[in-house]
Structure 1
């Protein structure tokens, strides 16, 4: 029988489903499952089955999402409703939807509150972090995007949508794995000369961090840009192609240097966005960067560049088994949604 005291938090993304099980404030399980939602809602069904098998069933579920953005749906509102309908059929027990500033909503209210439910996972994470760390910069670097949120006696952001956050710099499309390298910069230095980048999907940030030896295990479940091998040599070949070269035109040291240049370009984008964030100038110098997401180590680099100390999201948890600490940091919105929902109960 499902546990009545446990609760599962769900973060339904367009590329991954993340789920966290909590009981009496303690994180007792976390899982991330690849879910290419743009291919169909059956992918969500399969991911939910896999997550339930890993965590076990509960009778209470708290849900946040970003998956409504995928081009499977005609609109974000339609995506919210479709995802909620699918989860209502798939999950046993009570479902509550995180609707940001509108609080918690029952599935029947999904259509009426679609604008607040859509892509509110960043706000769930920020709200929970604010309850544990009154002043901080939250840097959640995921596989696809980065969320940069000022916490100053509460969530400082006034954004209500992804459009708002793109304007403010709180949402940056520069993630650990899935970002095409042409999105990071228009040009890059290689062997002392500036190369304009090919506007082709030849390589992604996964190739950069793999070549640098910093790509976390299991962080990259999707095929490489060319469908090829996931080795340093194959990543070097893909990076070389971005500047119109073949891999045999340089040594592995050369391609390692090119990977570092792309990593620096990604970091520069995050630094620039952070320095322009609403409320950042009033954040005390002692306020840390709370690092979260699969790209937690990129967030730590950002902290160093901003001359702030770095703390992981897992370190803010009151009770989390060491086994789940890294996964809790990676799956921050699912963990935060679960803990906020448990508190609300």
Structure 2
């Protein structure tokens, strides 16, 4: 009997995450990669080349494609409708003749024509795959997925996704989408003031530094994990991160000591953590039905250890990583892997996924 290979694609505004899953008993993860592709900067015309590069990296010929996306929100497109249509059309051109299954916010898969006709039902739906995975592993829990740009906080009850919002707008309004991330967030979006040499000081409304600089300074991430462009286009060394951080109060490293900058970094980290905690509280308050007790969470993303887990701990939730519950390693692109696993379960039946 021939095997069926699924190429699972999460086309984001910053990265394309991909995984190849073999359908079977159990399903097998054969390969994965993350390709840096800031679509707003390179341009939507480069998406096809980026997908070809993903295929060259994976070096596996797939039979079907599972697709989800968040790049439609990028200002490369005027509307989500335009973005969905372009992304789906590009994927069709690259994977000629392959069946393409587009994930919807309801958890079902649409064929390409249906997804183009109902763009808001497939736009920004990647969180559905990780929530499905959490339901499979923990039954009732909260997903806290801290990526480079945003944080997803998704309630899962009795194995089913229980999010109140479907679109990005609705999820923002319900606290289920928090526009704060571990690498790309402009520090001016976190707070208006920071302590500088003992004085609570207003910060510049420029994009002088990002959360990646804060987490590098605090040793939450390594230089290699700082995988996006920096605010000033310079390198990712500790010294360069300190220089960027100093600029947010219109200073430099000759004006502020390392100790003063460390204090600013710790303050900003506390502010960001509290943003996530506040959203988590809001989601927990809205969990229905009330008789379901939520005591655990699945932490995902680059910020799982230094943002998701501490946020969970503040509210008394027991935090798990994928590696605690499966044979999967923390380095995998979780949304793409979950997407491939979800489609494999629909096409080949419910089964575990192994590497």
Same fold (TM over 0.5): yes
Shift in alpha-carbon separation, 1:102–1:173, aligned structure 2, 3 A = closer
Deviations 1:259-310 (A, max 9, x none): 1111111101001111111218948776222111122222122122222222
Tell which deviates more after alignment, 136-145 or 119-128.
119-128
Pairing of 1:56-95 with structure 2 (within 5 A): 56-92=60-96, 93-95=98-100
Please name the residue that 1:334 is paired with: 336
Please name the residue that 2:181 is paired with: 175
Please name the residue that 2:105 is paired with: 100
Q: Using the alignment, how far apart are the partners of 1:132 and 1:210 within structure 2?
A: 32
Tell which deviates more after alignment, 158-167 or 22-31.
22-31
What 5-or-longer segments of structure 2 have no aligned partner?
Answer: 348-355
SS at match of 1:247: coil
Q: Give 1:97 shift.
A: 0.5
SS at match of 2:183: coil
CA contact (8 A) 2:35 2:50 kept: yes
Please name the residue that 2:350 is paired with: none
Please name the residue that 1:313 is paired with: 322
Please name the residue that 1:245 is paired with: 251
Q: Using the alignment, how far apart are the partners of 1:238 and 1:217 within structure 2?
A: 15
Pairing of 1:180-199 with structure 2 (within 5 A): 180-199=186-205
CA contact (8 A) 1:4 1:59 kept: no
Deviations 1:133-169 (A, max 9, x none): 1111101101100001112212221212000011111
Pairing of 1:114-263 with structure 2 (within 5 A): 114-153=119-158, 154-216=160-222, 218-263=224-269
SS at match of 1:294: coil
Q: Using the alignment, how far apart are the partners of 1:50 and 1:14 within structure 2?
A: 16
SS at match of 1:234: helix
| Number of corresponding residues | 336
Q: Give 1:102 shift.
A: 6.3
- Does residue 295 in structure 1 map to residue 303 in structure 2? yes
Q: Using the alignment, how far apart are the partners of 1:97 and 1:26 within structure 2?
A: 21
SS at match of 1:100: coil
Q: TM-score, normalised by structure 1?
A: 0.91
Shift in alpha-carbon separation, 1:33–1:66, aligned structure 2, 3 A = same
User: Which residue, out of 26, 45, 51, partners 1:42?
Assistant: 45
Please name the residue that 1:16 is paired with: 15
Tell which deviates more after alignment, 203-212 or 16-25.
16-25
Tell which deviates more after alignment, 47-56 or 72-81.
47-56
Please name the residue that 1:304 is paired with: 313
CA contact (8 A) 2:115 2:121 kept: no
Q: TM-score, normalised by structure 2?
A: 0.89
Q: Using the alignment, how far apart are the partners of 1:217 and 1:231 within structure 2?
A: 7
**Two-structure CA RMSD over aligned residues (Å):** 2.0
SS at match of 1:276: helix
SS at match of 1:339: helix
Q: Using the alignment, how far apart are the partners of 1:316 and 1:94 within structure 2?
A: 31
CA contact (8 A) 1:100 1:124 kept: no
SS at match of 2:117: coil
- Does residue 5 in structure 1 map to residue 13 in structure 2? no
Shift in alpha-carbon separation, 1:272–1:18, aligned structure 2, 3 A = same
CA contact (8 A) 1:289 1:303 kept: yes
